[in-house]
Amino acid sequence: MATNKLLSFMKLIGMTFIMTIITLPANAQFLRTSYFMEGTHYRQQLNPALTPTKGFINLPVIGAVNATVGSTSLGYQDIIDIIDDGGDFYTKPDFMNRLKDNNTLNVNFSTEILSAGWYKGKNFWSFNIGLRTDIGANLTKSMFTFLNQMETIEDNWRNSNYDISGQQLNINAYTEIGLGLSRQINSRLTVGARVKALLGIGNMELKLNRIAMSANLPTDQQINEWSNDSYWSGSLGEIETKAKDLKAKFDNYHANLTVGAELKSSFKGLELKEEEGKDYVTDFDFDSGNLGIAGYGFGIDLGASYKILDNLTVSASILDLGFISWSKSSTKIASANPDPINIKGSTYADMINITDPQNSVKGALNQLQNDTENYMDLVTQGDVLNYDMLQLEVGEAKESRKSRLASTLVLGAEYGFFNNKLAVGVLSTTRFVQPDALTELTLSANYRPKSWFNVALSYSAIQSAGKSFGLGLKLGPIFLGTDYMFLGKNSNSVNGFIGVSIPLNKRKACCKQG
């Protein structure tokens, strides 16, 4: 019987969640609601060509902090239950009904340790040191169905067919050191770029490519009946008939389990542990004291803004084009391709001797029962990341490995009213995270009467399933914002952004766009 313990697969996400807080990493995340707020410099995270009205110095660490939790189907409380161990959350009908065939989970963080920007002539320079993390997972409904039925249906493992392949976990954490430059080419066109040196904190790819099982096995009641001496009473002809019937039944029995998985990890401080007497991974452990630089890389952001009309501006950018090369010494590779369990009923049917049915049947039943107990121990543990089932064997990394950044394509258009103090805009973002790209379409209205006061209201229709809205407020040095307002425990996507900065010099009047 499956137990009510947290999925080991999600324990790893939870461990990583804590690890990222300890190390303060964050993803290359941004606030869509800030994109058309001219008084704030945070919109440069989305497009390096969008210069603010003033230079700035962000306060260390709290100058720009962003956190996002989102899923294609799971609500905020569902995600918290999974990470915090909600006990029997996967046995609840309302939880199961919300699931799609494939369910993605993304948890993202960002913070700037140090960042500043300033005007010099027609150029706007910026510098930042930031910490970034992306955590993405793909969980199939079949996995939760398997756990649910193993937990709620007695002896379901004896007669079942499950394919829970396709689970995936991706983690990428790094420090970014960036230098940006945006230049006003003329009164209509501004271009910008940011180059970034990257210090890799860690990267992991875990894929459960193949986990499939099927079984048709006798119940304990049947086994006890056939093992009982009273079952074999009767004439010799009757006993032989019973033996032939059992032989035919045995031919139909089977149990199969096939497993294939792979793990690529480049984390200093992450250990793959093996218990004594076992030559495969039996646990993950993270030691924050051994944290260090595991790789180096490079990235670049490119952007442009163009005034088609005095009140109509279009813009575009591509963010995080780049990669990180992870050192061989920090890399661990593990694969799982254990010998499949293949219990064939014919094996036990062949053990039945018609001339000595009672003893031969008992021998066949004892052998079948021993083999099925081994199968039961593996499939009823209640864990997807079942170490005994996977038997992940650690291998030597033969060379360094590379991972690409989660690039983002940004397209925007805005129209201004009342001398550009009021504007409406539409923004499209496509972020190529793992395991699936995230696309969002955001509509916003922006009121920006002063450089120290901007307010925006946005509506992002896709990731929140149309059930949320965003707000942005710049009041002097303080900026607060969200793309997905938290509206209760069933919110699919929630995020929050806070920034505190010290204003610097303004753009000179001769250099303003006209």
The confidence score (pLDDT) of residue 81 equals: 65
The confidence score (pLDDT) of residue 385 equals: 67
CA distance 316 to 337: 46
The confidence score (pLDDT) of residue 18 equals: 38
Q: pLDDT truncated to tens, each residue of the chain (514 aa)?
A: 333 333 344 444 444 443 343 333 333 358 899 999 988 899 999 999 999 888 999 998 888 888 888 887 777 777 666 655 455 667 777 778 888 888 888 888 888 999 999 999 889 999 999 998 888 888 888 888 888 888 777 788 888 899 989 888 888 889 999 999 999 999 899 999 999 999 999 898 888 888 899 999 998 888 888 888 888 888 888 888 888 888 888 888 999 999 888 989 898 877 788 877 788 888 777 777 777 899 999 999 999 999 999 899 999 999 999 999 999 888 888 888 777 889 998 998 888 888 888 888 888 888 988 888 888 888 877 665 677 888 888 887 888 898 888 899 999 999 999 988 999 999 999 988 766 788 899 999 999 998 889 999 999 888 777 778 999 999 999 999 999 888 777 777 888 999 999 988 776 554 454 3
Distances (CA, A) of 371 to 377, 379, 425: 10, 13, 65
Phi-psi region of 18 (alpha: psi -120 to 50; beta: other; left: phi over 0): alpha
Beta strands at 478-482 and 61-71: parallel, antiparallel or unpaired: unpaired
Q: What is the pTM of this model?
A: 0.81
Which tokens go with 226?
């056939």
Q: Is 430 exposed, middle or buried (0-12, 13-18, 19+ CB in 10 A)?
A: middle
Looking at residue 327, what DSSP letter applies?
P
Which tokens go with 186?
């003329």
Beta strands at 254-267 and 341-344: parallel, antiparallel or unpaired: antiparallel
Which tokens go with 256?
């199969």
CA distance 126 to 130: 13
CB within 8 Å of 25: residues ≥ 6 apart: 109, 131, 132, 133, 173, 174, 175, 201
CA distance 106 to 434: 9
Among the listed residues 100, 91, 111, the one whose alpha carbon sits nearest the alpha carbon of residue 174: 111
34, 456 in Cβ contact below 8 A?
yes
43, 444 in Cβ contact below 8 A?
no
CA distance 263 to 398: 14
| DSSP string for residues in 270-284 | EEEE--TT--S--EE
User: Element (H or E) spanning 320, and its range?
Assistant: strand 312-326
User: Element (H or E) spanning 181, and its range?
Assistant: strand 167-184
Q: For tokens 């005994």, what's the residue?
A: 388
Looking at residue 84, what DSSP letter applies?
H
Number of helices (H), then strands (E), belonging to the chain: the values are 9, 23
Which residue ranges form the domains of the chain, and what is each CATH number? 8-143+173-209+267-330+404-511 (2.40.160)
Instruction: Give the Cβ contact number of residue 467 at 10 Å.
Output: 14
Among the listed residues 148, 131, 11, the one whose alpha carbon sits nearest the alpha carbon of residue 83: 11
CA distance 456 to 475: 12
The confidence score (pLDDT) of residue 509 equals: 54
CA distance 500 to 479: 6
